[in-house]
A and B are shown apart, each in its own frame.
Chain A
Amino acid sequence: MNVNQHTPMASPYGQPQPGYGQPNYAPLDGGYPASYAPYNGPASAYQPGVPPQGKTLLPDQLLGPPTSAPPPVSAPQQYNQYSHSPADMQNGPPPMTQAPPRPAGSQPYGLGGGQPSYPQHYAPPPTMQQVTNQMGGMQLTSGPPTPAGLGYAPPHSSQPPISTSYQSAPQPSFTQAPPPASSAPTQPPPPNAPAASQQYYRGPPPPPHSIPPPSCAPAPPVSQSQQPFSTPQPHFSSAPPPVSQPGFPSGPPPPAQGSFPPQPTPSSSQPGSVPPPGPPPTSVTSGQYPTPIQHQQQPPDSQPSPYHSGPPPPRFQMPPTVNHLPPGPQSPPGPQGPLQQPPSPQTGYPPQQNGAFGQTRSPQAGYPGPYPVQPNYGAPAPAPAPAAPAQKRLDPDAIPSPQAPDMPAVQKSRHRIDPDAIPSPIQVIEDDKAKTNEPFVTGVRGQAPPLVTTSFHVRDQGNASPRFVRCTAYNMPCTADMAKQSQVPLAAVIKPLATLPPDENPPYMVDHGEGGPIRCNRCKAYMCPYMQFIEGGRRFQCSFCNCVTDVPPHYFQHLDHTGKRVDCYDRPELSLGSYEFLATVDYCKNNKLPQPPAFIFLIDVSYNAVKSGMVSIVCHELKSLLDHLPRENPEVDSVVRVGFVTYNKVLHFYNVKASLAQPQMLVVSDVSDMFVPLLDGFLVNVNESRQVIESLLDQIPEMFADTRETETVFGPVIQAGLEALKAADCAGKLFVFHTSLPIAEAPGKLKNREDKKLIGTDKEKSLFQPQVGFYNNLAKECVAQGCCVDLFLFPNQYVDVATLGVVPVSTGGSVYKYTYFQAQTDQERFLNDLRRDLQKHVGFDAVMRVRTSTGIRATDFFGSFYMSNTTDVELAGLDCDKAITVEFKHDDKLSEETGALMQCAVLYTSCSGQRRLRIHNMAVNCCSQLADLYRNCETDTIINYFSKYAFRGVLSNPTKAVRDTLVNQCAQILACYRKNCASPSSAGQLILPECMKLLPVYLNCVLKSDVLLPGADVSLDDRAYLKQLISCMDVADTHVFFYPRLLPVMKLESGSLPVAVRNSEERLSKGGVYLMETGLHLFLWVGASVQQELLLNLFGTPSFSQIDSSMINLPVLDNPFSQRLREIIDSFRAQRSRYMKLVVVKQEDRTELIFRHFLVEDKSASGGASYVDFLCHMHKEIRQLLS
Chain B
Amino acid sequence: MSTYQEFIQQNEDRDGVRFSWNLWPSSRLEATRLVVPVSCLFTPLKERPNLPPVQYEPVLCSRATCKAVLNPLCQVDFRAKIWACNFCFQRNPFPPSYAGISEVNQPAELMPQFSTIEYIVQRGPPTPLIFMYVVDTCLEEEDLQALKESLQMSLSLLPPNALVGLITFGRMVQLHELSSEGIAKSYVFRGNKDLSSKHVQELLGLTKPAAAAQQGRPAAPQEAAAFCKFLQPVHRVDMNLTDLLGELQRDPWPVPQGKRPLRSTGVALSVAVSLLEGTFPNTGARLMLFVGGPPTHGPGMVVGDELKTPIRSWHDIQKDNARHLKKATKFYEGLANRSAGNGHCIDIYACALDQTGLLEMKCLSNLTGGHIVMGDSFNTSLFKQTFQRVFSKDYNNDFRMAFGGVLEVKVQEPLSPWIRPGKPKCNPRSVHSPQCVLCWQEMGVGGTNQWKLCGLGPSTTLGMYFEVVNQHNAPVPQGGRGAIQFVTQYQHSNTHRRIRVTTIARNWADANSQIQHIESSFDQEAAAVLMARLGVFRAESEEGPDVLRWLDRQLIRLFMFHLRRSPFLQVFNNSPDESSYYRHHFVRQDLTQSLIMIQPILYSYSFHGPPEPVLLDSSSILPDRILLMDTFFQLVIFHGETIAQWRKAGYQEMAEYENFKQLLQAPLDDAQEILQTRFPMPRYVDTEHGGSQARFLLSKVNPSQTHNNLYAWGQESGAPILTDDVSLQVFMDHLKKLAVSSST
Tell me the A residues contacting B by CB distance below 8 Å: 650, 652-655, 657, 659-670, 673, 675, 677-682, 696, 699, 702-703, 727
Contact = CB atoms under 8 A, between A and B. Distances in A.
Contacts, number: 80
A680 B186 CA distance: 16
Contact of A669 (B203, B247, B249): B203
A667 B186 contact: yes
Contacts of A657: 249, 252
Given A670-B195, A677-B172, A679-B254, A659 B249 contact: yes
B203 A662 contact: no
Contacts of A681: 249, 252
B247 A661 contact: yes
A316 to B, nearest CB: 72
Contacts of B205: 669
Contacts of A652: 185
A664 B193 contact: no
Contacts of A680: 249, 252-254
Contacts of A667: 177, 185-188
B183 to A, nearest CB: 5
B252 A665 contact: no
A682 B172 CA distance: 14
Contacts of A677: 172, 174, 188, 190
B185 A678 contact: no
Contacts of A654: 183
A825 to B, nearest CB: 31
A727 B188 contact: no
A673 B204 CA distance: 15
Contacts of A682: 252
A670 B193 contact: yes
Nearest to B174: A666
B172 A675 contact: yes
A653 B188 CA distance: 9
Which range holds the interface residue count of chain B? 20 to 34
Closest 7 CB pairs of A and B: A680-B252, A677-B188, A669-B203, A675-B190, A665-B185, A667-B187, A664-B184
A605 to B, nearest CB: 13
Given A678-B253, A727-B253, A666 B183 contact: no
A662 B252 contact: no
B186 A663 contact: no
Contact of A679 (B186, B188, B252): B252
Contacts of B247: 660-662, 664
B174 A665 contact: no
A652 B184 CA distance: 11
Q: In the complex, which of the residues A659, A666, A673, A679 has the most CB atoms of chain B within 10 Å of its own CB atom?
A: A666
Contacts of B203: 650, 669-670
Contacts of A668: 187-189
Contact of B183 (A669, A679, A703): A703
A699 B186 CA distance: 16
Interface string B178-201: 001011111111100101000100
A664 B185 contact: yes
A661 B185 CA distance: 14
Given A668-B187, A670-B199, 14 more contacts: A662-B247, A665-B180, A667-B185, A670-B193, A670-B195, A673-B190, A675-B190, A677-B172, A677-B190, A678-B188, A679-B252, A681-B249, A699-B182, A699-B183
Contacts of A655: 252
A665 B177 CA distance: 10
A213 B52 CA distance: 123
A663 B184 CA distance: 7
Contacts of B193: 670, 673
A659 B141 CA distance: 14
A516 to B, nearest CB: 28
Nearest to A675: B190
A662 B183 contact: yes
A36 to B, nearest CB: 82
Most buried by A among B185, B188, B247: B188
Nearest to B184: A664
Contacts of B183: 654, 662-665, 696, 699, 703
A662 B243 CA distance: 10
Nearest to A695: B183
10 contacts: A657-B249, A661-B243, A662-B182, A664-B183, A670-B195, A673-B193, A675-B190, A678-B252, A681-B252, A699-B182
Interface string B205-218: 10000000000000
A674 to B, nearest CB: 9
Contacts of B184: 662-665
A666 B188 CA distance: 6
Nearest to B247: A660
Contacts of B189: 668, 670
B158 to A, nearest CB: 23
A642 to B, nearest CB: 16
Contact of A670 (B177, B185, B186, B190): B190
Interface string B247-259: 1010011100000
Contacts of A653: 188
B478 to A, nearest CB: 69
Contacts of A662: 182-184, 247
B250 to A, nearest CB: 8
A655 B251 CA distance: 12
Nearest to A665: B185
Nearest to A653: B188
Contacts of A666: 174, 185-188
A680 B247 CA distance: 14
A680 B171 CA distance: 12
Given A673-B193, A678-B253, A664 B186 contact: yes
Nearest to B185: A665
A44 to B, nearest CB: 77
Contacts of B199: 670
Contacts of B177: 667
Nearest to B195: A670
Contacts of B204: 669
Contacts of A727: 253
Contacts of A660: 247, 249
Contacts of A673: 190, 193
A212 B180 CA distance: 82
A665 B252 CA distance: 14
Contacts of B253: 678-680, 727
Contacts of A670: 189-190, 193, 195, 199, 203
Given A664-B247, A673-B193, A678 B187 contact: no
A699 B199 CA distance: 30
Contacts of A650: 203
In this complex, the member of A652, A664, A675, A679 whose beta carbon has the largest number of chain B beta carbons within 10 angstroms is A664
B208 to A, nearest CB: 11
Nearest to B253: A679
A1080 to B, nearest CB: 38
A352 to B, nearest CB: 64
B721 to A, nearest CB: 51
A1040 B177 CA distance: 53
Contacts of B249: 657, 659-660, 680-681
Interface string B229-251: 00000000000000100010100
A559 to B, nearest CB: 51
B168 to A, nearest CB: 11
A652 B188 CA distance: 9
A669 B254 contact: no
B241 to A, nearest CB: 14
A668 B191 CA distance: 12
A784 B188 CA distance: 26
A702 B187 CA distance: 19
Nearest to A661: B247
A361 B187 CA distance: 76
Nearest to B187: A667
Best-buried of A652, A660, A669, A679 by chain B (most CB within 10 Å): A669
A660 B190 CA distance: 23
Contacts of B180: 665
